[in-house]
Amino acid sequence: MTGSSPAVRRLSDWDHDKLLTLADEYGTPLYVLDENRVRANYRRFTKAFPDAHVMYAAKTHTGRAVLSTLLDAGADIECAARGELQRAIDAGADPNTVQYTAVNPPDIDLSYAADLGTDNPGLTITAGAQDTFDRLAERGYNGRVAIRVNPGIGTGHHEKVATGKDAKFGIPADRVPEVAAAVAEQFDLVGVHAHVGSGVLHDDLDDHCRAIESIAAIARDVEAETGPLEFVDIGGGFGVPYREETEPLEMDTVSERVRAAVGDIDATLKLEPGRYIVADAELILTRVNTRKETESATVIGVDASLATLIRPAMFDAYHPIRNVSAPDRGDESVSVGGPCCTSADVFCTDRPVSQPERTDVLAVGNAGAYGYELANQFHSQPRPAEVAIDGDDHRVVRRRETLADVTKLEQ
């Protein structure tokens, strides 16, 4: 699974014999993470943006194996919650290199970040509301901060991730200079931040670059009000092709367009890729337990569910599916679903898959981004194990939960 590093990794590129061995050894459903692919994706991204400061967006996948792999590769970490800050530090991140991007932070989160920043003056706290800055001041914090702005333009694969036009995120563009002037009097204002959406591909680039132009213009207005900024952070959002027919982004071209959109500014460009780094570095293995033929559909029941991967139910997201036990048996149109008692527990409908039979192992691709992060215990299902591959070696990086784990917090 090493070899070259194409811009996208399809399910057919994985070593099927290796995957079947892992399914037999560790059971299913099973998350399989390829650490080499994580490194390769990070190297490709940083090569496209050699002068930028690249921070991995931890919310995409906070697994220790992912965080440690990226820290070893030289990445810094951006966190959106207290737990992510703690997990990044536990994985080896220097708190002075971490950025905390607060979105309506609970008191416990904000107090943790303020204390951490006071003890580690290199940490940066990003806030998207005047109220959050007031709460930081109440806690005695006067360190490094950035202002999250709302450019009024959202992009991405689904309306639920188009954060750039959602009032929940950031300070409206027309109010930013006024807020910046007040913030600069109380804190060390070092940057402007925005994240306009997620899953950006070719058709979204025009809107994405328009949003970046707006962010850069806001940053120039802030500099005119308060003086030079250290960085302008345009977030992440760069997508990967989930569908087989979609071409991957050409990152050198993307870099040129982003630089042109940013324009003339002395501040360092900061980016926070997440999905681009980990999406195609992980898949889910699931075993067929039921085959049912009806007049309307051939239904294939598997042991993975929306508790394993909720994105299809939550975002109507497409994930490629491949029969790794028998990839050449001949395609048939099937619906694949799990054991949860809801019609939402479906990975695909009327999808051509090499004819699945009971005990076959299917792979569900592009599960690295918001896969395990959104895994849950619906129907009292223990969450799956996760195995990391590194070249010819593999190891369990997250054990399979038991029913005792599911119930252990109950009194």
Query: Residues near 99 by Cβ (< 8 Å), separated by ≥ 6?
Result: 55, 76, 77, 78, 79, 123, 124, 125, 126, 146, 233
Minimal CA–CA distance to 335: which of 360, 376, 286, 302?
A: 302
Structure confidence at residue 1 (pLDDT)? 41
CATH architecture of 35-277: Alpha-Beta Barrel (3.20)
Please give the average per-residue pLDDT across 86-112, as a whole number. Answer: 97
Cβ atoms of 22 and 34 closer than 8 Å: no
Q: What is the 3-state secondary structure (H, E, C) of 379-392?
A: HHCCCCEEEEEECC
Structure confidence at residue 102 (pLDDT)? 86
Give, in order, the Cα–Cα distances in Å from 7 to each of 141, 237, 252: 43, 16, 11
Structure confidence at residue 344 (pLDDT)? 96
Peptide bond into 312 cis (omega under 30): no
Structure confidence at residue 3 (pLDDT)? 42
Q: State the pLDDT confidence band at 304, using cuts at 50, 70 and 90.
A: very high
Please write the tens of the pLDDT for every residue from 349-402: 999 999 999 999 999 999 999 999 999 999 999 999 999 999 999 999 999 999
Minimal CA–CA distance to 43: which of 72, 23, 17?
A: 72
What DSSP line would sit under 256-298, residue for residue? Answer: HHHHHHH-S--SEEEE---HHHHGGGEEEEEEEEEEEE-SS-E
Cβ atoms of 339 and 345 closer than 8 Å: yes
Minimal CA–CA distance to 375: which of 38, 110, 29, 73?
A: 29
Looking at per-residue pLDDT, the higher value among 45 and 3 belongs to 45
Q: What percent of the chain has a predicted confidence (pLDDT) above 70?
A: 96
**What does the angle CA 55 – CA 139 – CA 194 come to, to the nearest 5 degrees?**
30
For 134, list phi and psi in degrees, rounded to 5.
-60, -40
Query: Residues near 82 by Cβ (< 8 Å), separated by ≥ 6?
Result: 105, 106, 108, 109, 112, 113
Distance (Å, rounded) from C-alpha 37 to C-alpha 404?
34
Minimal CA–CA distance to 227: which of 276, 191, 259?
A: 191
Cβ atoms of 257 and 205 closer than 8 Å: yes
**What does the angle CA 249 – CA 252 – CA 258 come to, to the nearest 5 degrees?**
85
C-beta atoms surrounding 342 within 10 Å = 13
Structure confidence at residue 2 (pLDDT)? 39
User: Is 79 among the catalytic positions?
Assistant: no
DSSP-derived 3-state class of residue 158: coil
Third-level CATH fold of 279-407: Lyase, Ornithine Decarboxylase; Chain A, domain 1 (2.40.37)
Please write the tens of the pLDDT for every residue from 158-191: 344 444 456 787 999 899 999 999 999 999 999 9
Q: What percent of the chain has a predicted confidence (pLDDT) above 90?
A: 89
Report whether pLDDT(295) > 80: yes
Locate the domains of the chain by residue range: 35-277, 279-407
Structure confidence at residue 204 (pLDDT)? 83
Please give the average per-residue pLDDT across 19-41, as a whole number. Answer: 98
For 152, list phi and psi in degrees, rounded to 5.
80, 10
Q: Per the residue annotation, which of 79, 340, 341, 348 is the catalytic one?
A: 341
Please write the tens of the pLDDT for every residue from 186-206: 999 999 999 887 788 888 888
Please write the tens of the pLDDT for every residue from 239-284: 999 999 999 999 999 999 999 999 999 999 999 999 999 999 999 9
Structure confidence at residue 153 (pLDDT)? 65
Structure confidence at residue 157 (pLDDT)? 42
Please write the tens of the pLDDT for every residue from 359-369: 999 999 999 99
Please give the average per-residue pLDDT across 306-324, as a whole number. Answer: 97
Q: Is the pTM of this model over 0.85?
A: yes
Distance, C-alpha 316 to centroid of its chain: 17
Q: State the pLDDT confidence band at 156, using cuts at 50, 70 and 90.
A: very low
